[in-house]
């Protein structure tokens, strides 16, 4: 299962890659062409050529070392422009059916193009991005080789980046447990599974291979005042969608803080406490889902166990981050 073959950073017009944190070596002036779309998409993902001032890449906000999420509540784009929603992980997207917090993209390829044109992210019109890539010897040749019929088009640019993102699938200790290894997770995490499925009501929204049904839910984070992001309503204009957001997947959730669409919760424990007693956090929520109309009544031990289960969803390459959070 391929996660990432190399990490690339683009500085001005030169290409570099980082095989190890302590080693920085220049790429050849005429690098070999990619063998497939995944390899091409990887290079694009880490290349700042797709931003207006050539300072921001996809990886600037989707940090590889933090499961391709950001560590800030809101990410900064070109010229320091601040986004208005938290950057989710770009991993485990292969089974997703809809994208962005408000669901405005129906495919991963469509989603991949969104940040390029977004004025508070990369702020580069797609036509300008295509022109830049066409003027680049490597990219023009790479797209011609991999897409011989259409070459470098908007659609193929999205498909290439999406191909790389689709390769970022991860497993976890929980998967080993689900496959029959009873020693893979702790007793606390085992109890947490039961809480997740029943008393905590988590499974009602977080189900499937990546713990999301790609549905839209209003969990009470909208009150029309200081918390006024209308969510899905911005796309559908349906009053029933007011304050609804796409349910995120939970793989690697323990290492992708901060949380929620606005990044307002700093820790996983704070998220669990919110679900347990949402009124204590946002008492004037509008349209909160019936699942959360009443407190869940989880004890401290049950919240500990639920957190232990969610930590077991962490891929091996990020487990060192769990130890850091315990210090």
Distance in angstroms (rounded) separating the CA atoms of residues 109 and 121: 17
Q: Which two tokens stand for residue 84?
A: 């208005």
Binding residue numbers for heme c: 58, 61-62, 202, 205-206
Residues annotated in a binding site? 58, 61-62, 202, 205-206
SS (H, E, C) the chain: CCCCCCEEEEECCEEEEEEECCEEEECCCCCCCCCCHHHHHHHHHCCHHHCCCCCCCHHHHCEHHHCCECCCCCCECHHHCECCCCCCCCCCCCCCCCECCCCCECCHHHHHHHHHHCCCCCCCCHHHHHHHHHHCHHHHHHHHHHCCCCCCCHHHHHHHHHHHHHCCCCCCHHHHHHCCCCCCCCHHHHHHHHHHHCCCCHHHCCCCCCCCCCCEECCCCCCCCCCCCCECHHHHCCHHHCCEEECCCCCCHHHCCCECCCCCECCHHHHHHHHHCHHHHCCCCCCCCHHHCCCCCCCHHHHHHHHHHHHCCCCHHHHHHHHHHHC
């Amino acid at each position: 299962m391929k996660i990432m073959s190399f990490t690339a950073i683009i500085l001005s017009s030169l290409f570099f890659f980082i095989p190890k944190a302590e080693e920085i070596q220049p790429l050849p002036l005429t690098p070999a062409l990619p063998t497939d779309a995944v390899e091409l998409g990887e290079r694009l993902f880490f290349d700042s050529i797709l931003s207006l001032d050539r300072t921001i890449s996809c990886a600037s906000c989707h940090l590889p070392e933090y499961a391709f999420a950001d560590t800030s509540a809101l990410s900064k784009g070109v010229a320091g422009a601040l986004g208005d929603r938290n950057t989710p992980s770009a991993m485990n997207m292969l089974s997703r059916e809809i994208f962005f917090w408000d669901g405005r993209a129906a495919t991963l390829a469509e989603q991949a193009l969104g940040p390029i044109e977004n004025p508070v992210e990369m702020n580069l019109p797609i036509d300008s991005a295509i022109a830049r890539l066409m003027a680049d010897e490597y990219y023009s040749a790479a797209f011609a080789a991999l897409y011989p019929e259409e070459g470098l088009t908007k659609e193929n640019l999205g498909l290439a980046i999406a191909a790389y993102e689709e390769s970022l699938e991860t497993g976890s200790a929980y998967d080993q447990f689900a496959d029959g290894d009873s020693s893979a997770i702790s007793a606390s995490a085992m109890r947490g599974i039961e809480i997740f499925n029943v008393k905590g009501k988590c499974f009602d929204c977080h189900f499937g291979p990546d713990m999301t049904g790609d549905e839209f839910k209003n969990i009470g984070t909208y009150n029309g005042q200081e918390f006024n992001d209308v969510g899905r309503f911005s796309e559908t204009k349906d009053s029933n969608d007011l304050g609804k957001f796409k349910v995120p997947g939970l793989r690697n959730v323990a290492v992708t803080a901060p949380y929620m669409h606005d990044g307002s919760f700093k820790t996983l424990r704070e998220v669990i406490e919110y679900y347990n007693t949402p009124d204590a956090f946002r008492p004037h929520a509008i349209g909160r889902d019936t699942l959360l109309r009443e407190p869940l009544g989880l004890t401290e031990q049950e919240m500990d166990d639920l957190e232990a289960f969610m930590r077991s969803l962490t891929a091996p390459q990020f487990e060192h981050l769990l130890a850091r959070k315990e210090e």
